[in-house]
């Protein structure tokens, strides 16, 4: 059996968190690449991330979330059976991140001010715009010793460490709010009502049966529909039989 988890945000804030998380994850993978062609992918993902975080107010959303997490941790600390050590460590992490977000500049500001990155960023918005004749300075950089390139990439990523930590903590708190429960989608369809605190719907299902879930809705109600990955032209793309899956409303 092969399972996969599909995540569907019910709020724009969480949608942004998930996009940032994915881009940061891709950056970490391509940052380790030794081939010049794969390091080009690193720059593509980096500039895509910068474009995203410049359009949204992550600092405000993350600060509000961390403040809410702090209040919840203080409340849970009064529970007699709580793991005091784990809670104390979590609280210290939340307080540290909130303070750093408050005192540091905008996310990505150091990268935006980097002379080399600024000189090549605009060309990456053009399909195929990173050719040597478009960006000879990038072509020069790609032919520098590998150790130097990897060191500079590491330094660039370090400027995103606070964002990475804050996104990781906030999403972990959201995901931990919901536990997976066995659910059945009759004729491939399931409808649910979201509670006030629900911000994310997680679906764990088999991916060796030829179908995948889709979600529509908002913070009040949502509907899941399972779709066939490939179908004959004469058939509907929707699954028509009952589907058993795991659902977590977070």
| Nearest CA-CA partner of 114 in 55, 27, 181, 43 | 43
Handedness of CA 30, 152, 101, 124 (dihedral sign): negative
Is 234's pLDDT higher than 60? no
How high is the pLDDT of residue 230? 79
How high is the pLDDT of residue 235? 62
Tell me how many helices (H) and strands (E) the chain has: 9, 7
Is 217's pLDDT higher than 80? yes
How high is the pLDDT of residue 105? 79
CA distance 97 to 62: 9
Is 233's pLDDT higher than 90? no
pLDDT, averaged across the chain? 91
Q: How many CB atoms lie within 10 A of CB 239?
A: 21
* Region for 108 from its dihedrals, namely left if φ exceeds 0, alpha if ψ lies in -120 to 50, beta otherwise: left
pTM, whole model, 2 decimals? 0.91
pLDDT tens figures, 43-100: 999 999 999 999 999 999 999 999 998 888 888 777 776 767 787 888 899 999 999 9
Q: How many CB atoms lie within 10 A of CB 165?
A: 15
Tokens for 7, please give them: 């995540």
How high is the pLDDT of residue 244? 96
Q: In 3-state terms, what secondary structure has residue 187?
A: coil
CA distance 189 to 204: 15
């Amino acid at each position: 059996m092969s399972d996969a988890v599909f995540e569907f945000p019910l709020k724009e804030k969480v949608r942004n968190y998930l996009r940032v998380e994915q881009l940061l994850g891709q950056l970490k993978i391509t940052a380790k690449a030794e081939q010049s062609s794969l390091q080009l992918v690193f720059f593509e993902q980096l500039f895509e991330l910068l474009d995203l975080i410049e359009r949204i107010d992550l600092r405000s959303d993350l600060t509000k979330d961390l403040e809410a997490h702090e209040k919840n941790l203080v409340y849970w600390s009064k529970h007699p059976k709580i793991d005091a050590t784990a809670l104390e460590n979590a609280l210290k992490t939340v307080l540290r991140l909130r303070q750093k977000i408050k005192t540091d500049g905008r996310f990505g500001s150091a990268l935006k001010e980097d002379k080399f990155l600024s000189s090549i960023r605009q060309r990456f918005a053009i399909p195929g715009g990173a050719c040597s004749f478009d960006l000879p300075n990038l072509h020069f950089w790609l032919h520098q010793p590998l150790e130097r390139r990897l060191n500079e990439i590491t330094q660039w990523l370090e400027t995103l460490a606070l964002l990475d930590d804050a996104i990781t903590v906030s999403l972990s708190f959201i995901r931990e709010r919901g536990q997976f429960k066995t659910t059945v989608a009759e004729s491939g369809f399931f409808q649910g009502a979201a509670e006030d605190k629900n911000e994310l719907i997680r679906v764990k299902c088999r991916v060796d049966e030829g179908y995948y879930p889709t979600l529509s809705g908002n913070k009040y109600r949502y509907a899941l529909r399972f779709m066939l990955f490939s179908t004959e032209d004469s058939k509907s793309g929707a699954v028509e039989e009952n589907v058993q899956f795991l659902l977590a409303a977070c």
